[in-house]
Structure 1
Amino acid sequence: MPTRPSHVLPVAAAALLTCLGAAPPAFAGGGANWHLVHPGESIQQAVDAARPGDGVLVLPGTYRESVRITTPHLTLRGLGPGTVLAPAEQRAGEPAPAPAASCAAAGHGICVDGTPAAPLLGVTVADLTVRGYPKNGIDASGTDGLVVRGVHALDNGQQGISQEKSVRAVVQGNVARGNGQAGVFLANAAYEEGGAIDTRGTVIGENELSGNRLGVVVRRARELTVEHNEVHGNCGGVFVIGDENVPRAGALTVRRNHVHENNKYCPPNPRLAFIQGSGIMLTGAEDTRVTENRVEGNTGTSPMSGGIVLLHSLVGSPNARISVTDNLALNNGPADLADRDTGPGNTFTGNTCGVSEPAGHC
């Protein structure tokens, strides 16, 4: 693992960063330092040296380590996809250096760690690649105002970009491809029961999500927007998942996404049937708008297959008051719009489609 110290640049050295193609963002107060990391140096060491409001700028190269962020208002930034974080090449029995040890041991690339009681404020991760980690490329929990932008999350074992127990996030302009679970995963908690979290306006927008098991998963969450994403080549596109817990999942908007040809086959597991050809699916949710999406060419024979699908949850909880309006849904199979639920107040209006299930929604 690299140990050489990073170079520290005051904000006055912005001209140097601009020459490198990365003008630093402005920080409140104007007193931030930028810690410059070269190939062969330790990103974690620079992160540890940073103070609230500082930035860590990582030059192009491959850095074989995991990085854990616990400092508020920190920016970790690369210079584009050529700044690559990949798993460390550790010898058997050799522990990862602290404090990244817990992140590396969990199998994640970048961990952004706060707690619900003491959220980690204002962290930004931008303009870099996280590739090939056993679990999540970016794993965030207990954050407030996290920004993930311009990240390439590639070929990670579980989620490309994952966020739990967090509020007011912006996950925008990223590429998540080839991840074992979701490209972008947002949940109250992945492995705990409980009601949906109010995300206070989180936005998942303008991402390209392809070749994953699922493009976007919103599980047990409320008050957020999924918009302007390009979602294709997954087993399923956008999944909004709830159940019998309260508060229920929902009170969110899925709009203006292009969800097409999500026809990869993913085998069943103990909780779920096989997935193939699912565009936008809602299960066990409430009070959600699905509007102005373009949903095309999603075809399969799974219970979840079709363009825009309403399906009761695994425990039988129906969707309620879902509004499906003004979508273009064509060439999906077995139906462009499918209401396979029995929930109250679900409506389909103003959509352009060829086949609906039951008939009459086009």
Structure 2
Amino acid sequence: MKRNHVRYAAFVAVLLGAGPGAFPASAVSLPSARTLTVHPGESIQKAVDAARAGDTVLVQAGTYHESVTVKTSGLTLRGVGPRTVIVPPPAKKAAPSPKAAVGCVEGGKGICVIGLRDKPVVDVTVSDLKLTGFSRVGLWSMATDHLTVQRVRAEKNGQWGISQEHSTRGVFKNNVARDNGDAGLYLANTTMSEKGATDSRGLVVNGNTLEGNRNGLTVLRLRNLTVQRNYMTGNCTGMIVIGDENKPRAGALTVSENYVLRNNKYCAKTARLPFVQGSGIVLSGAESVLLTHNMVAGNSGRSPLSGGVVLLKGNVGAVNDKNRVDKNMFTGNAPADLVNQNASKGSNLFRGNLCRVSIPAGLC
């Protein structure tokens, strides 16, 4: 027994004292993270294609005429601030790289972060750059998990500034989405078909400036997210949550500490909505939404959607249910600070709000 103990002690000593050459390098080392730097005149897409998980593609100040597709998990695509500008490529240079997903360039999108429905791209970060002038979307993401988009400026794009579909655990913080054709920030389960809301698993929208869009923020058929400390102004609608008759219902989200001010831009009617102007926060067919400690002021118009906080029946008649509008501050909204168009249906709670006028009366 003593001999076995001595042998075991000697074996442990060898392990603890083993030098760098004791084991094959491939058994103990992982590829180190790299920074691939892109300068004006060079291709961002080529650097992204060459990158591997853990790498950073650093894009220096300048204007880059291209669309970029990211399909590598663990990748960071970072500029140096709004002086890193990505704009559409000239038509003669519109062919994507071999690894780029067909549809990003042709689809009029600036940056595309794309995974597969059964295998999402994970832990990608896009930050510190500007996307402008794309015919559809500045930054579009599909089938991602824990995508972080921060300090991105998405301006004057034809449809959405920044968007995400079929994804989980996204983080959108400290971005600016301004003067886009539809939503500044668009978050959905899917746009192409009507299905029940999906669980975003804690998506976070924090500290963004959403200005001059049709909708500052659109949340379409999603559940389990937080919208906090954002600044929404100059849109037709500051924020809209959209559900329908499908289940699970849209909702189960918290909207808190946001400034929703003077969203008085005029937007013409569409096939699904009347004209919009002066809408602060709109809930349409949503359930279990908590609106709390928001400042909602100066939203004024004559649309059926006008007012500070508006509960509107969905297009298919889906009512809002089990929502709480609690401890918010309202001023200068017209036709009212609180508007509940649910008629007698639903069980929504209004309490502790600082407001003056409601439709119907008695909600303040």
Q: Same fold (TM over 0.5)?
A: yes
Quote the residue 2:354 is aligned against.
352
The one-letter code of the counterpart of 1:51 is: R
Greater gyration radius: 2
- Separation in structure 1 between the aligned mates of residue 177 and residue 98 of structure 2, nearest angstrom: 28
Two-structure CA RMSD over aligned residues (Å): 1.2
Equivalent position of 2:103 in the other structure: 102
User: Which structure 2 residues correspond to residues 1-362 of structure 1 after superposition, within 5 A?
Assistant: 31-91=32-92, 95-100=95-100, 101-342=102-343, 343-362=345-364
Structure 1's 30 and 170: CA in aligned 2 closer, same or farther, altered over 3 A?
farther
In the TM superposition, residue 97 of structure 1 has moved relative to its aligned partner by: 3.5
Determine the C-alpha separation between the residues in 1 that align with 2:231 and 2:296: 10
Q: Structure 2 length normalisation: TM-score?
A: 0.90
**Structure 1 position 96, deviation (Å):** 3.7
8 Å CA contact 2:36–2:58 kept in 1: the answer is yes
**CA-CA distance at 1:30 after TM superposition:** 8.3
Q: Distance in 2 between matches of 1:148 and 1:154?
A: 15
Confirm or deny: 8 A CA contact 1:331 1:354 kept in the other structure. Answer: no
Q: Structure 2 counterpart of 1:81, which letter? A: P
- The answer as to whether partners of 2:45 and 2:97 remain within 8 angstroms in 1 is no
Is the partner of 1:352 in helix, strand or coil? coil
Structure 1, gaps ≥5 residues long = 1-28
Cα 1:30–1:320 shift into 2, 3 Å: farther
Q: Which amino acid aligns with 2:294?
A: N
Provide Cα deviations, 1:320-358, integer angstroms capped at 9, x if missing partner: 001000000110000001111133210100000111111
Deviation, 1:102, is: 2.5
* Aligned AA (1:239): I
Q: Deviations over 1:293-336 (max 9, x none)?
A: 00000000111100001011000000000100000011000000
Deviations 1:11-68 (A, max 9, x none): xxxxxxxxxxxxxxxxxx7821010000000000000000011110000000000000
Work out the CA distance in 2 between the residues paired with 1:109 and 1:213: 20
- CA distance in 2: counterparts of 1:250 and 1:277, whole angstroms: 23
Q: Could you tell me which amino acid in structure 2 is paired with residue 292 of structure 1?
A: H
**Cα distance in structure 1, aligned partners of 2:175 and 2:217:** 12
Query: Cα offset for 1:95?
Result: 3.1
Query: Which amino acid is 2:349 matched to?
Result: T
Query: Residues of 2 paired with 1:243 and 1:172: CA distance?
Result: 28
Following TM superposition, by how much is the alpha carbon of 1:115 offset from its aligned partner in structure 2, in angstroms?
2.1
Look up the SS of the partner of 1:137 in the other structure. strand
CA contact (8 A) 2:78 2:126 kept: yes
Q: CA deviation at 1:106?
A: 1.0
Query: Corresponding residue for 1:3?
Result: none
Q: Secondary structure at the match of 1:151?
A: strand
Query: Identity over the aligned pairs, expressed in percent?
Result: 52
Unaligned runs of 5+ in 2: 1-29
AA in 1 matched with 2:252: A
